[in-house]
Structures are given as structure tokens and as C-alpha cells.
Chains A and B, each alone.
Chain A
Amino acid sequence: MGYWKEIVEGGWSLVEGMRVTVRRLWRPVVTVQYPRKQLNLSPAYRGHIELRLFADTGTHKCIACGACQRACPSHVIRVQGIKPHMKSPKKATHYFIDFSRCSLCGLCVETCPTQTLQYSREYELEGDSRWSSVVDLIARQEQSRS
């Protein structure tokens, strides 16, 4: 008896499976044709970090304190700054980040005392050598402003 039962039940289970797939055949596709159509990035999207542009000063507020440099687990950040005058606060002149080794943990953004770091919304990055991932964020910001 088990012999016939297996044929009938097994056969029926195969038919059921085929019903599931054929129903999908006419349903709309769920994929997005990427270069032609793009999805909205999530509001929390973490791209590589960049310096925020503050409306009141028209520039960033990086004081080259080096907190991000110390917080970074992968040591990808190098900040250089100068003191223009004896009394004035320090001002960053160079902010290097090697994005190829960054793990996007966000510790730098969280530790920044002046909230000048933020995640960019860039995700289409390319380069012809590993050095093209090393960016000076201050130069980049000035370039994008001009």
C-alpha cells in the first residue's frame, strides 16, 4: 500500500510545487534595473565620512583635535592643523582618510566634539589604484564649494 501512496502523494507534492512557481511567472518582477533606476538610500545610510558644511561659517568646524584619529579602529584617519594665531583655536588644514581600509563603524562620527563629521551619501566610487581611495576631505569640500 505504501508503494502506491508514495507515488500519488509524491506526485501531488510535485504538482503543488509547480503551481507555486508558475504563479510567479506572471507576477511583476521585484528586481530594480540598477543603472537605469535607482533605489532611495536609507536616511541612515553610511557612506564614507565627509566634513559638514555649516551655514553660519560657510565651512567646516574641524579643530584638528584628533579624537577621530584616536577612535578609528583601522587607523585610516590623519588630521593636520595649525594655529593661525597664538590665541585662536586650532584649524584643520588637511584631513586624510583612506577609504579602502575604512570599516564604516561610525566611531569617528560619534566622537567628533564639533559634530563636523557626517556620512556622505555617495556609493558609486571607483578608482584606478588603491591610492585613489585616499582623499583629503578638506580639499574635497573646497572643490565641491567652488
Chain B
Amino acid sequence: MPKPIAPPAVDRVYTLNLGPQHPSTHGVLRVLLDLDGEFIVKADPVLGYGHRGHEKMGENRTYKQFMPNTSRMDYLSGLLFNHGFALAVEKFAGIDVPLRAKYIRTICAELNRISSHLLWFGTYVMDLGGFTPFLYAFDDRENILDILDRVTGSRLTYSYCRFGGVCQDVDETFLEMTKTFIDRLRSRFSDYHNLVTKNIIFIHRTRNVGVIHPEQARQFGVTGPNLRACGIPFDVRKMEPYELYDQFDFEIPTGTNGDALDRYNVRLEEMEQSCRIIEQALARMPKGGGYLNRSVSSRLTPPKGEVYFAFESARGLTAYYLVSDGSPHPYRCHIRVPSFSNLHVLVDVLRGTMVADAISILGSIDVVIPEIDR
């Protein structure tokens, strides 16, 4: 990692305002960079341009009404957020879920995780200047969106899960499409590896770039693929299994250096692991048994108290913290989002790197701005 040789004189340092409108900040993130030539002396992310008050909205709505909000925070893994919220409220109010619904949710959630990683893959290579892999990834992602569109009726903000199940049953065509898609995705990986992973320019742009040390990751609360790239095999799906994840056979891919290349490899390997989970779920899914627990009241009132529920979204440990005062609205609704913690490690990691690397690191950490600002 290149570092400036001596601390620069103050008058040599100038400020570059990276964002909020910039092609590579993936939304409305603003990073104030103090630069010495091309080297970064100080980086200061500025948040809040996309603040919509989701947590406050949660306090003014019934539990059911908050469901559409959840898929709008992290719009790339909306279904995972739906799923997590449904699980949190189910834990809170003690609602039973039919087994078939659990399988449907797991399949859809993992499909959504793959689509999120595919999009990350595309945009990350685009940040590094390669346009074409972006469109190949979108071609594959389009298949997932078609599959999810068939069951949820929506392509991005799904609002698919309900307390006690899902809002619509899946059919044979859905299962068929999912199987075909997994085979197709696996056959595409070799092209991705030839085009990107093995590419010497790509390797040079990512190896030893933006190294996050395990200790640093712990201090900042980094989770998800970013943490696993540091070599810490932490995944909520394995550590505190929820839904059916304790019954599936899958591995947690880890890296060794914690650099951008490791984060890339971890995410690509995670897609493969998600494929494995989906295959197992497809094989075991019961034919009948209902997709929704119909006994759940529309004005659901959990008992007085609080609940904390953590799950693994595409970007890391996400958690809902709900407090109930016995009314149909939550008294407090807090959402722990992974991008928020992951972003702040930038302050440490960016110091001493170049502007081109800043883009590479920002991209490799995979932040979604509406999720940070929520």
C-alpha cells in the first residue's frame, strides 16, 4: 500500500469534494478528501443526503404497515430485509410459520442475495473502469428479477414476506426457473473468472488495496463479506441460525488478507454457497402445508417488551430492535444496518491511498446509501 513519505506541509493539502454527485459514490454519499497530490491525507464521509426517517416512520405505523419500508432501505436486498423484519415480529409475537413458507422465504432470500452480489460485482468492476462485466452481470441478474417478479409481482421493492409466511404461493414454473437459473449461473462463472478474476490489471488494482485488519474490523463493527475477507468466519446464518439455515449444508468462505481482492473472492464464493442452499431447499421443500399462517390479526399487537433480531443481509449483520408498549404501533423501531459500520472503516483505510484506490475501496466495501441514511 503506497503511503506518503513524509507528512505533507499544510499548504500543499487541498480538499476534493467527492460526491454527493459523482459517478462512483453509488448514490448520494459525499466523501471529503484532503489530498496531497493524488494521495489521501484524510477522508471524511458525510452522510444524510438520503435520510427519509424510516425509523420514525416505523413508530407511526402498525407492524404490518412497516413492511414496505423495509425493502426500501437496502433496495438491493429488499427481500432479505423483508424476511428479517417478518422474523423479528414473528419472534416478538410468537407466530408460527408453515414449513413450506419457510422454504419459500429461504429460496427467495438467497436468490436476492445472489442478485445483490451480482450487482456488486458489476458495479465494482465498473468502478475500476471495466464496463462490459457490468452488463454481463446484469444479464444474469435480470433472470433473478424475472423469477422473483413471478412470485412477488415486483422487481426491486418486494414486500413479499408477511408475518406467518409469504403473500403468495410459488408454482412449479418458479421451481423450474430457479433450477435453470442456478445451472446457468454456474456455467457463467468461468467467463467471469476469465474476464475479471484472472485479469492481471484487475488483480493489480485489488491486491493489497484497502486492507482491513481483523482488529480494525472489530473496532468498527465491520460485518458481512468485508469481515469474512479478513479471515473471521462470522456469518449470522451459521453463528445464530434462524429460519432453516441450521439444516442446510453450506460453508462460510473466508479470505486471508482482508484486501479488496479477498472481498471480491468472498462474494463470488458466497454466490456459489447460496446456490447450494437453494438447491437443498428446492429438493426438500414440502408440496403442501400452506404458505401463510392465516390466524395473524391485521392489527397485530405484540406483548409489552422488546425484541432484538439479527440476520445476515447481503452486506452483513442487520438487526431490528423493536420496543412495544402494548399498542399496535412499535414504541421504538431501530434498525442496525451493516453499511453504516462498514463505511466508517473507510476513514482509517483510505489514509495514505490514492484517489483511484479510494474509488476501488469504496466500491469493494459495498455500501448502499439509503441503508446508511435510512
Chain A residues within CB distance 8 Å of chain B: 6, 9-11, 13-14, 16-17, 19-21, 24, 30, 42-46, 71-73, 103-107, 110-111, 119
Contacts and interface: CB of A to CB of B under 8 A. Distances in A.
Interface stretch (B62-70, B92-100, B338-346): B62-70
Contact of A119 (B66, B136, B153): B153
A72 B67 CA distance: 11
Contact of B68 (A21, A42, A44, A103): A103
B273 interface: no
Contacts of B136: 24
5 contacts: A11-B200, A13-B199, A103-B68, A103-B72, A107-B67
A44 B132 CA distance: 32
A75 B43 CA distance: 42
Contacts of A14: 199-201
B194 A105 contact: no
B200 A10 contact: yes
Q: Identify the interface centre among B153, B168, B196: most chain A CB within 10 Å of its CB.
A: B153
B181 to A, nearest CB: 14
A103 B154 CA distance: 11
Main secondary structure of the interface of B (DSSP, over half): helix
Interface string B346-370: 0000000000000000000000000
A17 to B, nearest CB: 5
Nearest to B198: A13
A124 B198 CA distance: 43
Given A44-B150, A106-B159, A73 B66 contact: yes
A3 to B, nearest CB: 13
A21 B136 CA distance: 10
Contact of B65 (A13, A42, A107): A107
- A-B pairs, 5 with minimum CB distance: A10-B200, A44-B153, A105-B68, A73-B65, A46-B153
Contact of B167 (A19, A42, A104, A106): A106
A110 B68 contact: no
Nearest to B67: A105
A119 B159 CA distance: 15
Contact of A44 (B142, B151, B198, B298): B151
Interface in B124-159: 132, 136, 139, 142, 146, 149-154, 157, 159
B64 A44 contact: no
A107 B64 contact: yes
A10 B202 CA distance: 10
Contact of A45 (B142, B153, B196): B153
Contacts of B132: 21
Contact of B191 (A10, A20, A72, A110): A20
Given A16-B194, A73-B65, A104-B159, A44 B152 contact: yes
A42 B150 CA distance: 5
A21 B153 contact: no
Contact of B69 (A11, A16, A20, A73): A73
B194 A20 contact: yes
Interface centre among A30, A44, A45, A111 (most CB of B within 10 A): A44
B195 interface: yes
A27 to B, nearest CB: 11
Contacts of B168: 44
B61 interface: yes
Interface string B188-226: 000100111011110000000000000000000000000
Interface in B40-90: 61, 64-69, 72
